[in-house]
């Protein structure tokens, strides 16, 4: 099935470091979303982006909707142990009502 | 308030059998979506229902079917199970079709096909 290209696949960092991950697509999206999934749980929305060029923050998280509408990135500043988990980007285009296309995920591990 | 609830949480089936997975949306939510998440991958869209009508279908074979009931709960049915159907099946509910800030996922049903 169709998936977005998300990188890196995994990251192992020291507590306090900043983290950056990105997502690219061959198709244009009207909405970009970033989710976090913990083991045994469903994805939880972190940030939603609705406009090309938009830069949005949620606490230590910052995400941007690429100008081409084909990419997005997520930054986490000053990582802490509870940031551990799998992060997914997801895109939505109005031609597929309600359907989200997800990336393969970035697994983040934080060493205290 | 209760979140999206799915049952069962875990299920083991053998090839060729069929399975029914159930989802209860958050109270007041009229849209339910189903996703399949294979280990190590992101979720893949299967179906979306809104007001009991199918509003979207992903690239899955006809062995997969779903329906939404008058109380907005939903069932996902998979016939003639294959080993490759082993996955976490996620249900998500929202107030409207494209309201992603009010889209919430359940914890999923882990299906193992032996």
Using CB atoms, pick whichever of B41, B98, B104 lies closest to residue A104. B41
With an 8 Å Cβ cutoff, is A95 touching chain B? no
With an 8 Å Cβ cutoff, is B64 touching chain A? no
Q: What contacts A99, CB < 8 A, 6 or more positions away?
A: A92, B33, B45, B48, B56, B58
pLDDT at A96: 58
Pairing of strands B5-7, B10-13: unpaired
Q: Which of B4, B23, B42 to mutate to test the interface with A (most CBs of A within 10 A)?
A: B42
Task: State the count of interchain CB pairs (< 8 A) between A and B.
Answer: 74
pLDDT at A2: 66
Q: What is the dihedral of CA B49, B111, B38, B18, to 10 degrees?
A: -60
Range 9-48 of A in CB contact (< 8 A) with B: 31, 33, 40-45, 48
Give the residue among A41, A40, A35 at the shortest CA–CA distance from A23: A35
Strand partners, A71: A24
List pLDDT tens digits, range A76-112.
999 999 999 999 999 998 765 789 999 999 999 999 8
- Bigger pLDDT: B2 vs B44: B44
* Residue position matching structure tokens 């229902």: B49
pLDDT at B97: 78
Low-confidence winner among A22-26, A29-33, B1-5, B47-51 (lowest mean pLDDT): B1-5
């Amino acid at each position: 099935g169709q998936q977005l290209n998300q990188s890196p696949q995994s990251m192992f960092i020291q507590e306090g470091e900043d983290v950056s991950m990105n997502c690219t697509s061959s198709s244009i999206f009207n909405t970009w979303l970033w989710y976090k999934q913990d083991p045994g749980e469903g994805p939880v929305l972190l940030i939603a982006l609705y406009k090309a060029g938009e830069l949005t923050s949620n606490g230590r998280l910052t995400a941007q909707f690429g100008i081409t509408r084909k990419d997005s990135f997520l930054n986490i500043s000053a990582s802490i142990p509870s940031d551990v988990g799998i992060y997914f980007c997801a895109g939505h285009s109005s031609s597929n009502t309600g359907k989200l296309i997800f990336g393969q995920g970035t697994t983040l591990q934080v060493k205290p | 308030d209760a979140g999206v609830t799915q049952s069962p949480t875990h299920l083991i089936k053998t090839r060729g059998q069929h399975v029914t997975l159930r989802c209860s949306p958050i109270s007041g939510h009229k849209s339910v979506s189903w996703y399949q998440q294979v280990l190590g991958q992101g979720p893949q869209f299967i179906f979306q229902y809104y007001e009991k009508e199918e509003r979207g279908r992903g690239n899955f074979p006809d062995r997969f079917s779903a329906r939404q009931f008058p109380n907005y709960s939903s069932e996902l049915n998979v016939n003639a199970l294959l080993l490759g159907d082993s996955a976490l099946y996620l249900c998500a509910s929202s107030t409207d079709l494209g309201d992603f800030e009010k889209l919430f996922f359940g914890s999923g049903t882990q299906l193992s096909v032996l």
